[in-house]
Structure 1
Amino acid sequence: MSDAEYKVNNVVLTVSYRDTELDLEKVASNLEGARYAPEVFAGVIYRMPEPKASFLIFASGKANCVGARSIESAEAAIGNLTEQLREQSFDVGEPEIEIQNMVASVEFHRRFDLEQIARNIPNVEYNPEVFPGLVFRMEGSSVAVLLFVQGKGVAVGAKSEEEIRKALDRIAETIE
């Protein structure tokens, strides 16, 4: 069991309002602070202040939600967006939500000898001339952890906090 501590910094989700076409001009004009410049980008860019999250909203009824720091706050932001769309008289049902990626900063409470890890552990990438961190990919998982000499790291590609914890435990087992 790893004594590493992590903090989720970003959750990325896809949102789908089935069988819905959105009038993006109308969406943008009714969401405070939303931007829509179709000649630059094909969707509405909307930063929700509370709960804090950003959305890319498309005419197809699909959206991406980024910037939330937990699944719960992302789901609350999506619920808030759904309400606002309904208030604009869009007939959106319950959105289908899928977690795509979680990014977490990690503190391992120890230093790492990245050269030694790279020599002794298969399936890691370490090229200090290109990037100062070692890339530790989890077998059978989409999670990768970037390890740095000072004992810090970044976990990417997880779809749940359980996946992050498993990856950190596996690193602790492998490196011990």
Structure 2
Amino acid sequence: MVGSGRLGNKIVLQDVVNKTNKRAEMRKNCVLLKLTHPKSSAMLFPSGKVVCTGQFTEEGLKAAAQKVAQLLKHIDFHVSLSDFQLENVIGRADAGFRILVEELALRYPDVTTYEPELYPALVFRMAKPKVHILIFARYINASPSSRGPMHHVHASGKVVFTGSKETRHLRDACANISIILNEFRDMKAQVET
């Protein structure tokens, strides 16, 4: 899950890095804080925005953001957390079988993007619920020599869901995509194993 909120004041990023005893790491346009309790990561921006990730509940994310505010108060920043909201819920699943991703992409060209040279997953853009589903692929070399051309691309069965602010949307998307993925189950792989 990813959540964000406002701290009510501008933040001098270098001051955070200097005063947190190596708990903060300067990035290009923010500071990355690693928290241990609750275990999470937080990005602090100069505007006073905080983005937290690494928790599995909205309450856990809010607790992480409150911990950041508490830490900043401890090092003399005048902040208070407000406007905290869930930004993105991310889920993962395993279909339990290999998937013929090239065939899936050919059957659903309007809602899929598959460019294995650029990204190792097929992206399936589900309309209802509005969720992006990443179906991860790996190359299987069907030629006798290891230097031969790649002939088949199968998905490992690993699936990631993203783009929603509600966990129920992920559950619905999982149920919907399961039906579709079953149509593209690699039956040959089942016989070989």
Q: TM-score, normalised by structure 2?
A: 0.68
1:40-51 to 2 correspondence within 5 Å? 41-51=28-38
Q: Which of structure 1's runs of 4+ aligned residues deviate more than 4 A?
A: 128-132
- Partner of 1:150, secondary structure, is strand
* CA offset digits 1:37-64 (Å, max 9, x no partner): 5xx6343332112212222212321122
User: Which residue does 1:75 correspond to in 2?
Assistant: 62
| AA partner of residue 168 (structure 2) | E
Deviation (angstroms), 1:135: 1.6
Cα 1:126–1:43 change in 2 (3 A) is: closer
User: Which residue does 1:4 correspond to in 2?
Assistant: none
**Aligned: 1:147 with 2:153:** no
Match 1:168 to one of 168, 174, 184? 174
Cα 1:132–1:36 change in 2 (3 A) is: closer
Q: TM-score, normalised by structure 1?
A: 0.73
Q: Can you give the 5+ residue segments of structure 1 that lack an aligned partner in the other structure?
A: 1-10
Larger radius of gyration: 2
| AA partner of residue 153 (structure 1) | V
**Which whole-Å CA distance do the structure 2 matches of 1:133 and 1:63 have between them?**
30
**Which whole-Å CA distance do the structure 1 matches of 2:118 and 2:11 have between them?**
44
Match 1:123 to one of 111, 128, 138? 111
Q: Can you give the 5+ residue segments of structure 2 that lack an aligned partner in the other structure?
A: 137-154, 183-193
Of structures 1 and 2, the one with the larger relative CO (CA 8 A, separation 6+) is 1
- Partner of 1:110, secondary structure, is coil
Cα RMSD (Å) of the superposition?
2.8
Does the CA-based 8 Å contact 1:17-1:95 persist in structure 2?
yes
Does the CA-based 8 Å contact 2:50-2:65 persist in structure 1?
no
**Which whole-Å CA distance do the structure 1 matches of 2:135 and 2:41 have between them?**
28
What is the percent sequence identity of the aligned residues?
Answer: 26
Deviation (angstroms), 1:145: 1.0
**Aligned: 1:15 with 2:21:** no
